[in-house]
Amino acid sequence: MKVLPVGEDALLVEVSSGEEAQALHAELLRRRAEGSLSAREIVPAARTVLLDGLDSPARLAAELTAAELPPAPPRARDVVEIPVRYDGPDLADVAVHWGVPEREVARIHAETEFRVAFCGFAPGFGYLTGLPPRYDVPRRATPRTAVPAGSLALAGPYTGVYPRSSPGGWQLIGTTDAVLWDHARVPAALLSPGTRVRFVPEADA
């Protein structure tokens, strides 16, 4: 665990894997909930957790540097199920990358349990992990200028769903009618870091 100071009142804690980042994130949330950590923002990402708005960053940095990495947290009990149609325009390209027939992409993806590693890019956009590394896919060489809202997409080790229409370079494998982000809803985001997720093909739903 490496602790890097960021400006006047933030710390970036770097670990060596996404799993460690998720465990550290859960531990920091636990500390904030019990009142032993005061931070305005706790932002997990691929290999890091950012702590922003700290009262005494130097003291916390010393404490974290000396600390053991926390064990992986118990998994959240609830699984968010997202109904999907595996009908994306890049399904054939992804099948080629994976070396499987097209319909196998849907089966493999729908049998995987995902977890929201972190959010970013747009409100409610989660970076979901769960697929084995052999299914990593590159981004498209030319990003699309408009990816429709509800597109189910892959890039690198991640799966994501576009909460709203936006430009994007991910490989589109499906579509959902689920509302990923609604600021009038509580909570606004369907997915937040740590959420377990399954994609359910609509015919079976």
Partner 1 sequence: MTDHALAVVRAGALTTVQDRGRPGHAHLGVPRSGALDRPAADLVNRLAGNPPGAAVLETTLNGCALRPRSTVTVAVAGAPCRVTVDARPVAWGAPVRVPAGALLDVGPAVSGVRTYVGVSGGIAVEPVLGSRSTDLLSGLGPAPLADGTVLPLGRPTGAYACVDVAPQPAPPIELVLRVTLGPRDDWFTREAVRTFVSRAYRVSPASNRIGLRTEGPALERTRPGELPSEGMVLGAVQVPPDGRPVVFLADHPTTGGYPVIAVVHAADLAAAAQAVPGTPVRFVAVRRR
CB 144 to partner 1: min, Å: 18
The whole-angstrom separation of Cα 27 and Cα 19 is 12
Q: Please give the Cα distance from 110 to 85 (Å, whole number).
A: 10
Least CB distance from residue 145 to partner 1, whole Å? 16
Q: Of 26 and 106, which has the nearer Cβ to partner 1? A: 26
Report the nearest approach of partner 1 to the CB of residue 74 (Å): 20
Of 87 and 182, the one with the shorter C-beta distance to partner 1 is 182
Q: Report, in Å, the least distance between residue 160 CB and partner 1.
A: 11
Q: Report the C-alpha gap between 53 and 192 in whole angstroms.
A: 20
CB closer to partner 1 out of 135 and 158: 158
Which residue ranges make up the site for partner 1 (CB under 8 A)? 4-8, 10, 12, 40-50, 52-53, 58, 118-125, 127, 164, 183, 188-189, 192-193
Dihedral class, residue 157 (left if φ above 0, else alpha if ψ from -120 to 50, else beta): alpha
